[in-house]
Amino acid sequence: MKSFVYQLKPQDIVLLLKIISMNDPAWGQKPAAKALGMSQSEVSQSVARSKYAGLLDPTGKTVMKHALLQLLEHGIAYVFPQRPGPPVRGIPTAHAAAPLNKLIQSSELYVWPYAKGQIKGLAIQPLYPSVPEAAEQDASLHELLALTDTLRVGKAREKELAVTALKKRFGIGK
């Protein structure tokens, strides 16, 4: 019998951010799976890994926002690193997307590769393949994922702005 491995995967971050964007303590795994383009078993396994890591409470319903923020701020760039790739058509992410696109002026745009995308920029591989579609359906999730990507690829000032924006969206601190 194969034992379950409790190592975080990139889709765990996506699910945790989706739970925050839903802002519903009674969220269900099946609707979340559908919204994220994941299987229900992937979501179930993600919940188990996140509970084990202390990123979800023991019920598996509430994100431990302080712990998630610490992981994003100090670890995401090392655990799930990313370097911008060649120019492609896609959906804006990092500082090219809201909310940072209003604060940071840059000629260097980052996008998740996506055939239906309207913007051309440097490719950033999303944390999970269905991220572009999920982000199109949920503006709040798009912002959370873009801020997370800023922590993966941004410069010091961009990362500082992303952390501040994440704290605000998580309802942490000032």
Would you list the domain boundaries of the chain? 10-79, 87-170
- Residue 107 has a pLDDT of 86
| Whether pLDDT at 6 is above 90 | no
pTM for the model stands at 0.95
Between CA 111 and CA 124 the distance in angstroms is: 6
Between CA 171 and CA 40 the distance in angstroms is: 28
Pick the more confident residue, 19 or 1: 19
pLDDT category of residue 3 using cuts at 50, 70 and 90: low
Q: How many CA atoms lie within 13 A of 90 on its CB side?
A: 26
Average pLDDT over residues 9-24: 97
- Residue 38 has a pLDDT of 98
Nearest alpha-carbon partner for 50 in 3, 10, 2, 82: 10
- Residue 173 has a pLDDT of 75
Coil vs helix vs strand at 111: strand
Burial 80-91 (b: 16+ CB within 10 A, else e): bebebeeebebb
- Residue 174 has a pLDDT of 58
**Cα Rg for the chain, rounded, in angstroms?**
15
Residue 94: left (phi > 0), alpha (psi -120 to 50), or beta? Answer: left
- Residue 31 has a pLDDT of 97
Q: 124 — phi, psi (to 5°)? A: -120, 120
